[in-house]
Amino acid sequence: MYQTLLLLPENGILTVVINRADKLNALNKDVFTELNLVLDEVEKSSAIKSVIITGAGSKAFVAGADITEFKGMSKEEAMAVAKRGQDVFARIENSSKPIVAAVNGFALGGGCELAMSCHFRVAAENAKFGQPEVNLGLIPGYGGTQRLVQLIGKGKAMELLMSAHMIDANEAKALGLVNYVTTPETLLDHTRKILETINSKAPLAVAGCIKAANAVYDESKDGYALEIEEFGNAFDTEDMKEGVSAFLEKRKTTFTGK
Ligand code: COA
């Protein structure tokens, strides 16, 4: 069914592979359409507890938006393209299920923006991050100017945005852009292990953490008020009763996501 994505479900973790290795997994309109479809499926499916996004091949996570689609585009068309990209990446950022980027090579332009829209990032040591749009006379359009500042701070983000300078995985880790650096061979296993731990927790509580942490960056929301609300909501869940009882009874929890 999917032309540009490969979907690999295993033990509650759906690995979504951007599958255009010959074009370094550049994001064309079909990738966005299909990412939207996958996000629908992730929301609906009770079998999918969390998601990994990665790129096909050994060279690239995603080398950016597909530049071939930019030629001859009008201002209005370009704005619609940026809006479509921002909307898809906002869906990833606001997903109630954890979505993690496993960055296996170049994460440039839209690729860096895709990785930044995920809840966090794990990188292989050959990963390279950058926003090279100024090389093309462009600026990032899929949220890069905003999320890069959020994740690494304004000074370094300004430098990377203006210079198109690429950073390697270790520098990305030092800047807080990625949580772990692994070998290329262990990248997916390492990412899966983190998600297995997260998947063993109460799903509604995990969703509450995502919602409250995202509110920090949403001016329309009062994050502290939202935290109070989510804290209260947790008391209405079966999993909270199970979690507290299991602790007091010194036994393992069995969460149902209710
Ligand atoms: N859009 C469309 N096609 C892309 C692409 C992109 N963002 N990035 C790479 N490709 C294509 C190349 O055109 C090439 O296709 P071809 O074999 O049909 O000529 C193929 O992917 C392999 O890329 P190539 O440039 O030959 O690999 P490389 O190892 O020499 O260089 C990069 C790797 C990542 C440095 C280089 O591909 C690059 O600079 N890509 C664009 C990055 C960018 O500016 N992204 C932001 C876009 S807004």
Tell me, yes or no, if 133 is annotated catalytic: yes
Question: 65, exposed or middle or buried, with CB in 10 Å at 0-12, 13-18, 19+?
Answer: buried
Question: Which atom of ligand 1 approaches the CA of 128 most closely?
Answer: 34
CB of 240 closer than 8 Å to CB of 202: yes
Question: 25, exposed or middle or buried, with CB in 10 Å at 0-12, 13-18, 19+?
Answer: buried
Give the pLDDT confidence of 33-71 residue by residue, as tens digits: 999 999 999 999 999 999 999 999 999 999 999 999 999
Among protein residues, the one with the nearest Cα to ligand 1's atom 39 is 63
Question: Which atom of ligand 1 approaches the CA of 132 most closely?
Answer: 44
Q: How far is the CA of 140 from the centre of ligand 1 (A)?
A: 16
For tokens 């829209």, name the residue.
Answer: 117
Give the rounded percent of residues in the chain with a pLDDT score beyond 70. 100
Q: How far is the CA of 132 from the centre of ligand 1 (A)?
A: 12
Question: Which atom of ligand 1 approaches the CA of 109 most closely?
Answer: 46
The pLDDT of residue 213 is above 90: yes
Q: Stretch 129-135: mean pLDDT, rounded?
A: 98
Q: Choose, from 34, 93, 113, 230, the residue flagged as catalytic.
A: 113
Residue 1 has what pLDDT? Answer: 87
Tell me, yes or no, if 93 is annotated catalytic: no
Mean pLDDT of the chain: 98
Among protein residues, the one with the nearest Cα to ligand 1's atom 11 is 23
* CA–CA separation, 258 and 256 (whole Å): 5
The pLDDT of residue 32 is above 90: yes
* CA–CA separation, 221 and 240 (whole Å): 25
Give the pLDDT confidence of 215-255 residue by residue, as tens digits: 999 999 999 999 999 999 999 999 999 999 999 999 999 99
Q: 181 falls in which pLDDT band (50, 70, 90)?
A: very high
CATH number, domain 5-199: 3.90.226.10
Q: Stretch 136-147: mean pLDDT, rounded?
A: 98
Q: Stretch 11-24: mean pLDDT, rounded?
A: 98
Residue 166 has what pLDDT? Answer: 98
Q: How far is the CA of 24 from the centre of ligand 1 (A)?
A: 6
Give the pLDDT confidence of 89-99 residue by residue, as tens digits: 999 999 999 99
Pocket, ligand 1, Cβ cutoff 6 A: 23-24, 26, 63-68, 106, 108-110, 132-133, 135-136, 138
Query: What are the boundaries of each domain within the chain?
Result: 5-199, 203-249
The pLDDT of residue 24 is above 90: yes
Question: Which atom of ligand 1 approaches the CA of 106 most closely?
Answer: 34
The pLDDT of residue 20 is above 90: yes
CB of 40 closer than 8 Å to CB of 14: no
Residues 6+ apart with CB under 8 A from 188: 15, 52, 54, 102
